């Protein structure tokens, strides 16, 4: 297959080695029998040509081994060529090269006729973790070999890890290696390297995009090293970078130490470097809380405390629950304890291994502070909202956000402004909230003189369906209007995104850092001044002007205050409910730390689950060491699924993977690219750089309208009950398949098999249908393929639940509206017909509670919200059995008029103007 047909170079490489194994084996066989071999030889030559420009980025099998394969083939030694290729390919396929018995290409002669070892064939697990180190220097082959030998000489049997080196001669090659070789954990930049690659890199352009300006070689060596370090950190921030220099190392250390983990003088040899490389990886490998828990679990204890299950004591001697140990194993109970001392720690006041574990997580996830949460992002969201929002503060939030925000904002007493996302009526889904909607609400609040009370913007990135915001742009434009706005990005589904260079810029933590850096740049100041020259001060500028241009914040006033909540358990390794709160707030220690602590205490159990905490610690270790590899594979699996559905002749008759163009209207995609990943990496990067929204390729929404089966039935009756395939979300005519770092190629293959079986059955049923059955089927298809009743926008709060002052704006007091309904005499139940009649008669009917049909799973009504004809039409069109907040026997719970009158007369006094508080300058 030509490289252009692939989504990733890793697939190209894997397939090329497999093709090579197959065809060299046949060649060896046929060559021996003197059969015609031309076409086989062509296949081998083609595969070798594919591998030639890419093998140099990996230490295994290494270029010497690769050249040897080529030589054996060229000289007709097919037997030996086949043996060697088989050995390499098996080792690659089973990962056995990662063991401590690494391939020694230089000692190739000893191994050349060796059969694949048992370890190669059995996929033996590595004895100690293996990684590769990139050396950037233009050197001869002999020098390279000598250097490799030098590093190998330092190995000791009790080293924690083993590594091999990959040498590249240029800046371009270094970036390509970092982008392609997921085994790299460190990079040593030496003084002499070229800018451009000597090799023809045209076949790689689809998969890697290069950085670096053309004048690189005109700059002094330390600047070149600095540019390279910055470019590498942008692609792989986790790599430990080292600099080896021949000039004044002390001087360099002063200037460049923030780019490099350490700087060495070349003449000092490589032992210190070798030890530092091992030490750097060991620092990420450390899992302090897991280690503390493991050592604690092996100590004998006498428990005179709660938790009879600790050390398995209440189970091991039990006559009735011994199967608990049989099933879970003893270790998990040995690790159960309520101790917070003896090497362990307290989550509420961490001072030992838990504090260390959280600090390591902050480093890995790019935050300034990270907090572990053992009750999911549902709790994380409530902690952040309570820490930052006081009763009466205005919070702007996507109405389709997770229920934890609705409840959290209600408990906090926020005045909530619901934002409308764009609608995808065709698929009964919402997209994300456009920047114009956010800005118009901020400007409306400004007109009403309420901007001072606006505290926070809360958005979901990415949405359930995979719509990803341009996080930096949203924050930049909002800060232009409201310079102290705080952002909470719900990244429940996006913890993995940090570990892939394409996703990373659209994560909250990276965008916060970038924004803070931009605000400090003189170029930004100049651009801001030019903006002021053009439109005048933002505070005085016309709404229309502000809405229609991309705004820059005032660098002297804007504060970067960003929070992100992530369900680690949803997309990375962690036990269920393991989540993290990441903080990048310039004002955290000054303004928030104490209220954050209170909020954390409010919502956190005093008996947090240690296994969850240990799994968060290990999940962080994994992400720091192999996150890049795993996320890349996750994307590849998603692309395999997409290709398999869309290219299958039978499946494509009934199902179709929705593309970026289907889920993101063209007005939000100035790049004009309909399917960014399919268009190759450079195009994908373009789209991810400039489009307002992009689609997370690892989420695959399949349109199933033409099957005539409704989404929920497709999920429950077919996928789950019959085939054990679990999926999360459906809409009327779509089903969402998520790939994660746990998705395997086999599970993708199984899913395809299931979908094909379903399509075959459908085809068979259609053939056998009676005319009546066929007519019913066609009606079902028509219903599912025609647009449903339009999805409703937020209708508005009843005036009794607004603050009733000044120009009307959208925000409402959900807490008052919620608690008023605790008095039964203020509420009544109305069946839908009755509500409709009253609404038609011009009455305002007000919900006492959240009404949430599932699917789609967002509240159509919140407490205090008025019913609209649009909402009623939408509810009527739904055929979902599950509607929370609605009783089939009694109908909707609504307020009686008396309650609304009371609510209007008992509005709380306006909160004090925050500007008047001492120490709070306007």
Ligand X SMILES: Cc1ncc(COP(=O)(O)O)c(C=O)c1O
Query: Which residues contact ligand X by CB under 6 A?
Result: 376-378, 402, 404, 460, 464, 490, 492, 567, 579
Give the residue with the Cβ less far from ligand X, 381 or 622: 381
* CB half-sphere exposure, 356, CA atoms < 13 A: 18
Give the residue with the Cβ less far from ligand X, 490 or 691: 490
Question: In which residue are the tokens 């060529």 written?
Answer: 81
Give the residue with the Cβ less far from ligand X, 94 or 377: 377
SS3 796: coil
Give the residue with the Cβ less far from ligand X, 19 or 377: 377
Which of 210, 176, 205, 175 has its CA nearest to residue 4?
Answer: 205
Estimate to the nearest angstrom the gap between the alpha carbon of 634 and the chain centroid: 11
Instruction: Point out the residue whose Cβ comes nearest to ligand X.
Output: 376
Closest CB 766 distance from ligand X, rounded Å: 36
* Strand-pair partners of 734: 703, 731
Which of 138, 140, 153 has its CA nearest to residue 270?
Answer: 153
Beta carbons within 8 Å of 549's beta carbon, 6+ residues apart: 535
| CA dihedral of 911, 916, 921, 922, whole degrees rounded to 10 | 60
**Tokens standing for 378?**
């549902």
Give the residue with the Cβ less far from ligand X, 460 or 802: 460
- CA–CA separation, 626 and 634 (whole Å): 12
Closest CB 376 distance from ligand X, rounded Å: 2
Give the residue with the Cβ less far from ligand X, 336 or 490: 490
* CB half-sphere exposure, 749, CA atoms < 13 A: 3
Which of 346, 329, 331 has its CA nearest to residue 295?
Answer: 331
The edge-to-edge listing of strands for the beta sheet with 656-657 is 656-657, 699-703, 734-738, 729-731
Closest CB 399 distance from ligand X, rounded Å: 13
Closest CB 377 distance from ligand X, rounded Å: 3
Cis peptide before 477 (omega within 30 of 0): no
Give the residue with the Cβ less far from ligand X, 373 or 702: 373
Closest CB 372 distance from ligand X, rounded Å: 13
- Per-residue exposure over 19-48, b if at least 16 CB sit within 10 Å of its own CB, e if not: bbbbbbbbbbeebeeeeebeebbebbeebb
Closest CB 603 distance from ligand X, rounded Å: 12
Give the residue with the Cβ less far from ligand X, 736 or 872: 736
Distances (CA, A) of 352 to 348, 527, 689: 12, 46, 41
Give the residue with the Cβ less far from ligand X, 460 or 637: 460
Closest CB 373 distance from ligand X, rounded Å: 8
Give me the DSSP letters along 581-638: EEEEETTIIIIIHHHHHHHHHHHS-SS--HHHHHHHHHHHHHHHHHHHHHHHHHHHHH
Closest CB 384 distance from ligand X, rounded Å: 11
- CA–CA separation, 470 and 467 (whole Å): 10
Distances (CA, A) of 882 to 549, 787, 862: 43, 21, 17
Closest CB 699 distance from ligand X, rounded Å: 12
Q: How many CB atoms lie within 10 A of CB 531?
A: 20
Give the residue with the Cβ less far from ligand X, 378 or 800: 378
Closest CB 555 distance from ligand X, rounded Å: 32
Give the residue with the Cβ less far from ligand X, 209 or 381: 381
Closest CB 573 distance from ligand X, rounded Å: 14
């Amino acid at each position: 297959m030509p490289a252009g047909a692939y989504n990733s170079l890793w697939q190209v490489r894997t397939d090329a080695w497999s093709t090579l194994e197959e065809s060299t084996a046949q060649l060896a066989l046929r060559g021996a029998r003197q059969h015609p071999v031309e076409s086989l030889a062509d296949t081998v030559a083609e595969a070798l040509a594919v591998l030639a420009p890419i093998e140099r980025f990996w230490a295994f099998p290494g270029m010497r081994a690769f050249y040897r394969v080529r030589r054996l083939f060229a000289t007709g030694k097919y037997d030996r060529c086949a043996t060697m290729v088989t050995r390499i390919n098996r080792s690659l396929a089973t990962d056995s090269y990662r063991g401590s018995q690494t391939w020694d290409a230089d000692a190739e002669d000893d191994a050349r006729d060796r059969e694949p070892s048992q370890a190669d064939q059995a996929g033996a697990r590595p004895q100690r973790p293996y990684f590769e180190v990139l050396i950037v220097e233009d050197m001869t082959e002999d020098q390279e070999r000598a250097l490799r030998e030098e590093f190998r000489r330092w190995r000791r049997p009790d080293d924690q890890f083993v590594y091999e080196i990959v040498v590249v001669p240029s800046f371009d090659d270094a970036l390509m290696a970092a982008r392609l070789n997921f085994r790299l954990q460190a990079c040593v930049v030496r003084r002499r390297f070229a800018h451009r690659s000597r090799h023809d890199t045209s076949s790689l352009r689809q998969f890697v995009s290069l950085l670096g300006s053309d004048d690189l070689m005109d700059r002094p060596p330390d600047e070149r090293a600095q540019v390279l370090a910055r470019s590498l950190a942008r692609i792989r921030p986790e790599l430990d970078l080292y600099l080896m220099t021949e000039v004044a190392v002390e001087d360099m250390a002063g200037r460049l130490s923030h780019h490099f983990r350490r700087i060495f003088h070349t003449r000092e040899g490589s032992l210190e470097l070798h030890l530092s490389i091992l030490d750097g990886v060991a620092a990420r490998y450390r899992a302090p809380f897991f280690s503390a828990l493991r050592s604690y679990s092996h100590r004998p204890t006498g428990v005179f405390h709660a938790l009879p299950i600790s050390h398995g004591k209440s189970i091991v001697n039990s006559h009735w629950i011994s199967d608990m140990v049989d099933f879970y194993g003893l270790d998990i109970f040995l690790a159960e304890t309520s101790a917070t001392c003896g090497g362990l720690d307290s989550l509420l006041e961490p001072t030992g291994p838990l504090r260390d574990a959280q600090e390591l997580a902050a480093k890995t996830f790019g935050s300034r502070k990270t907090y572990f949460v053992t009750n999911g992002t549902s709790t994380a969201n409530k902690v952040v909202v309570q820490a930052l929002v006081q009763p009466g503060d205005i919070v702007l939030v996507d109405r389709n956000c997770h229920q934890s925000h609705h409840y959290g904002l209600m408990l906090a007493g926020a005045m909530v402004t619901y934002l409308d996302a764009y609608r995808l009526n065709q698929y009964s889904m919402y997209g994300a909230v456009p920047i114009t909607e956010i800005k118009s609400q901020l400007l409306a609040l400004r007109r009403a003189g309420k901007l001072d009370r606006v505290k926070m913007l809360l958005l979901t990135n990415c949405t359930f369906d995979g719509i990803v915001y341009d996080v930096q742009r949203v924050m930049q434009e909002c800060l232009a209007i409201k310079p102290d706005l705080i952002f909470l990005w719900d990244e429940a589904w996006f913890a993995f995104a940090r570990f892939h260079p394409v996703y990373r810029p659209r994560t909250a933590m990276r965008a916060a850092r970038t924004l803070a850096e931009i605000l400090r740049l003189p170029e930004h100041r100049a651009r801001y001044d030019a903006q002021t020259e053009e439109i005048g001060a933002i505070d005085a500028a016309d709404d229309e002007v502000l809405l229609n241009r991309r705004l820059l914040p005032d660098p002297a006033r804007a504060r970067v205050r960003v929070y992100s909540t992530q369900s680690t358990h949803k997309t990375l390794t962690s036990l269920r409910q393991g989540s993290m709160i990441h903080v990048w707030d310039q004002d955290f220690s000054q303004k928030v730390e104490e209220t954050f602590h209170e909020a954390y205490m409010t919502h956190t159990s005093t008996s947090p689950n240690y296994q969850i905490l240990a799994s968060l610690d290990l999940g962080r270790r994994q992400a720091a060491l192999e996150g890049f590899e795993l996320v890349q594979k996750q994307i590849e699996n998603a692309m395999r699924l997409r290709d398999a559905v869309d290219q299958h002749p039978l499946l494509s008759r009934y199902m179709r993977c929705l593309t970026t163009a289907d889920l993101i209207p063209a007005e939000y995609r100035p790049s004009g690219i309909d399917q960014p990943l399919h268009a190759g990496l450079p195009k994908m990067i373009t789209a991810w750089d400039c489009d307002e929204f992009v689609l997370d390729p690892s989420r695959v929404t399949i349109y199933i309208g033409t099957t005539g089966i409704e989404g929920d039935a497709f999920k429950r009756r077919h996928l789950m009950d019959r085939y054990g395939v679990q999926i999360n979300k459906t809409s009327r005519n779509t089903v969402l398949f998520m790939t994660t770092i746990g998705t395997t190629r086999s599970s993708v293959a199984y899913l395809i098999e299931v979908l094909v079986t379903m399509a075959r059955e459908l085809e068979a049923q259609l053939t056998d249908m009676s005319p009546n059955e066929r007519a019913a089927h066609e009606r079902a298809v028509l219903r599912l393929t025609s647009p449903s009743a339009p999805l409703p926008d937020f209708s508005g709060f009843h005036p009794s639940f607004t603050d009733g002052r000044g120009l009307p704006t959208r925000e409402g007091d959900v807490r008052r509206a919620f608690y008023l309904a605790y008095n039964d005499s203020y509420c009544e139940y109305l069946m839908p017909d009755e509500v409709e009649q009253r609404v038609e008669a011009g009455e305002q009917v007000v919900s006492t509670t959240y009404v949430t049909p599932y699917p789609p799973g967002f509240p159509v009504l919140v407490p205090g919200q008025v019913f609209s004809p649009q909402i009623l039409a939408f509810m009527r069109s739904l055929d979902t059995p599950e509607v929370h907040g609605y009783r089939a026997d009694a109908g909707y719970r609504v307020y009686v008029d008396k309650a609304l009158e009371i609510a209007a007369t008992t509005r709380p006094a306006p909160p004090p103007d925050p500007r008047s508080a001492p120490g709070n300058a306007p």
